[in-house]
A and B are shown apart, each in its own frame.
Chain A
Amino acid sequence: MAIIDLVINRRLSLAALPPDWPGNNYWWHWLFFTIVLIAFVLVMVMGAIYIERRAMGRMQSRLGPNRTGPFGLLQPVADAVKVMLKENIVPDNADKIVHWLAPVIAFAPVLMIFAVVPFQNGALLADLNIGILYIVAISSISTVGVFMAGWSSGNKYSLLGAMRNVAAVVSYEIPLVLSIVGVVLVAGSMSLNTIVLKQDIPFILLQPLGFLIFFAAACAEINRSPFDLMEADSEIVAGFHTEYSGMKFAMFYLVEYAEAIAMSAIITTIFLGGWRGPLLPPWLWFIVKTFIVFFVMVWTRTTLPRVRIDQLMALAWKFLFPLALINLFVTAVQVLVWPDALPWTAVYINIAIMIILIFLWSRFFKLGWGRVEI
């Protein structure tokens, strides 16, 4: 009891210190919403797994999981239980501590992303005024976990997968950030809440090229097909998590879907107008839009073959990067011309620019060089 008293007293004494320092209630608020957020993310992930498996099943003229619970809704739960009961196997040659730590490091940042995503006006854990920078910074930390996993497994497939992941993330971070900068220019703020408030015209229309670049780069970052080279099951078995089993594998599995949900949420927030929409309550709009974006990811995964590693790199550097730069330049000019808010004219101009640019780049740039002479 004495310890608790001490803690509370310390908090109280702290609260007295700076004027803008969070007050006494702040910590409980913080803790409560963090737990709510984690629960929310886990539920969203379950929904995502269910949607992915069912939709993919139907697209492949199968049924997908339909045995556990009504319509197979409990399948993610069954999966989770199964995976937790599995034996935890650590390879002999593995670097034990790193091997153990990797899933944790990969998992934590994904949850942290959700801290700045607004579910409705003002309903976000931390309204950081540098929200987007925070997302960009945090989201690439997962890569460290993935690389640790690949390195510590002592497996060549894992190492290859991890190397591919690092290469992809390092390359795709640039077009990703550049396409966000366009949005930031238009919105005039880095806070996600403000960005949503500014979207009287959804930014997908104002920044169509930016959206495409961001979508492609996001797919590559969170290794969704067609850029799922890090765990290319037909080539390197399962990439970085080849040697993982049991709960640790479950963590990676969770990371994969949580990242996909996080990226969908970010795309929803900065391109699709976040919680805004008629009739339905804002948080529902947000969830619906997130799942729509996620469904598009599932859809592309179902249809498309995987690209090769050199093509992946080339796509980032020769295709997305220059286009993102041009997009940024065009946006900057438009913001100069219309300082208050971009009008509908800008939508038409931007779509026209997008079509022209994609046409030109498709014509003139060959991606990938193919064979290496030995």
Chain B
Amino acid sequence: MKFERYGIGILKGMTVTIRHLFRHPTVNQYPEQRLNVSRRLRGNELIWNRERCTGCATCAKACPQGAIELVTATNLKDNKYDVTTYRVDTGYCIQCGLCVEACPYNALFMGYSYERAKYRRGDVVQTNDELLESAERPASGYYHPEIAEKLPRQTLLVERITEKRKRK
């Protein structure tokens, strides 16, 4: 240890820290203060659209984790497949979004919600109607720009700080 600069480096560093004392902190108080998340958020749960789904199982093939299970029955009257079971094990899901990208009929969306933790292990396996879109489970704009446009703009940390300064 040699004080080649007689402690000037230490003093310089101390001015930086003391300056931060008078700056606004960058953190925000989460449950009360919420920032807008990304429009393309790959949130907790998949959203499934029953009307558009044809039961082609492209999503199940694309899933690297094998979290999607699909059972179809032939509907000879309408000449199509009926999806009898659409089951997603969200415990296995890694939110990669490959299923959404793979779906040729835009029947699958990533979830836009992020506070969907479950208390029981059984609850993480979701079947059929549990996967439909609802008010608490909105669809995210991931791979679907038309949805993304309608969602609120993401709060960016860079802009947030500069805005705050301007107001003052």
Chain A bound to chain B: yes
Residue numbers of A with Cβ under 8 A of B are 55, 57-63, 66, 299-300, 302-304, 307, 311, 314-315, 358-359, 361-362, 365-368
Interface flag for B26 (CB, 8 Å): yes
B: contact size bracket: 10 to 19
Contact of A303 (CB < 8 Å), options: B1, B17, B29: B17
Interface flag for B76 (CB, 8 Å): no
Known: A300-B14, A358-B3, A359-B6. 20 other contacts (CB 8 A): A55-B21, A57-B25, A58-B20, A58-B21, A59-B18, A59-B20, A61-B23, A61-B26, A61-B27, A62-B26, A302-B17, A303-B16, A303-B17, A304-B10, A307-B1, A311-B1, A361-B3, A362-B6, A366-B1, A366-B2
Closest Cβ neighbor of B2 among chain A residues: A366
CA A55 to CA B7, docked complex, whole Å: 23
Can you list the 8 inter-chain pairs with the closest CB atoms, starting with the nearest? Answer: A362-B3, A367-B1, A311-B1, A59-B17, A303-B17, A368-B1, A61-B25, A303-B13
Interface flag for B4 (CB, 8 Å): yes
CA A299 to CA B16, docked complex, whole Å: 11
29 contacts between A and B (CB under 8 A): A57-B25, A58-B20, A58-B25, A61-B23, A61-B26, A61-B27, A62-B25, A62-B27, A63-B27, A66-B29, A299-B14, A300-B14, A303-B10, A303-B13, A303-B16, A303-B17, A304-B10, A304-B13, A314-B1, A358-B3, A358-B6, A358-B7, A361-B3, A362-B2, A362-B3, A362-B4, A362-B6, A365-B2, A367-B1
CA A300 to CA B25, docked complex, whole Å: 20
CA A303 to CA B9, docked complex, whole Å: 11
A303 and B14: CB pair below 8 A?
yes
**B84 to A: closest C-beta gap in Å:** 49
Binding site of A, secondary structure by majority: helix, strand, loop or mixed?
helix
A367 and B2: CB pair below 8 A?
yes
Closest Cβ neighbor of A302 among chain B residues: B17
**A158 to B: closest C-beta gap in Å:** 27
**B5 to A: closest C-beta gap in Å:** 8
**B139 to A: closest C-beta gap in Å:** 34
Closest Cβ neighbor of B1 among chain A residues: A367
Residue numbers of B with Cβ under 8 A of A are 1-4, 6-7, 10, 13-14, 16-18, 20-21, 23, 25-27, 29
CA A61 to CA B27, docked complex, whole Å: 7
**B27 to A: closest C-beta gap in Å:** 5
Q: Find chain A residues with CB under 8 A from B2 CB.
A: 362, 365-367
Q: Find chain A residues with CB under 8 A from B18 CB.
A: 59, 299
CA A366 to CA B1, docked complex, whole Å: 6
Q: Find chain A residues with CB under 8 A from B3 CB.
A: 358, 361-362
Q: Evaluate whether A59 and B21 lie within 8 angstroms (CB atoms) in the complex, with A304-B10, A358-B6 already known.
A: yes
Q: Find chain B residues with CB under 8 A from A62 CB.
A: 25-27
Q: Find chain B residues with CB under 8 A from A302 CB.
A: 17
**A69 to B: closest C-beta gap in Å:** 15
**B7 to A: closest C-beta gap in Å:** 8
Q: Find chain A residues with CB under 8 A from B13 CB.
A: 303-304
CA A66 to CA B16, docked complex, whole Å: 24
Q: Find chain B residues with CB under 8 A from A299 CB.
A: 14, 17-18
CA A303 to CA B16, docked complex, whole Å: 9
Q: Find chain A residues with CB under 8 A from B25 CB.
A: 57-58, 61-63
CA A81 to CA B115, docked complex, whole Å: 30
B6 and A61: CB pair below 8 A?
no
B1 and A61: CB pair below 8 A?
no
CA A353 to CA B3, docked complex, whole Å: 18
CA A368 to CA B3, docked complex, whole Å: 12
Q: Find chain A residues with CB under 8 A from B1 CB.
A: 307, 311, 314-315, 366-368
> Which of A299, A303, A362 has its CB near the most chain B CB atoms (within 10 A)?
A303
Q: Find chain B residues with CB under 8 A from A57 CB.
A: 25
CA A314 to CA B3, docked complex, whole Å: 13
**A209 to B: closest C-beta gap in Å:** 13
Q: Find chain B residues with CB under 8 A from A63 CB.
A: 25, 27, 29
Q: Find chain B residues with CB under 8 A from A307 CB.
A: 1
Q: Find chain A residues with CB under 8 A from B16 CB.
A: 303
Q: Evaluate whether A60 and B6 lie within 8 angstroms (CB atoms) in the complex, with A299-B14, A303-B13, A315-B1 already known.
A: no
Q: Find chain B residues with CB under 8 A from A366 CB.
A: 1-2
**A203 to B: closest C-beta gap in Å:** 21
Closest Cβ neighbor of A308 among chain B residues: B1
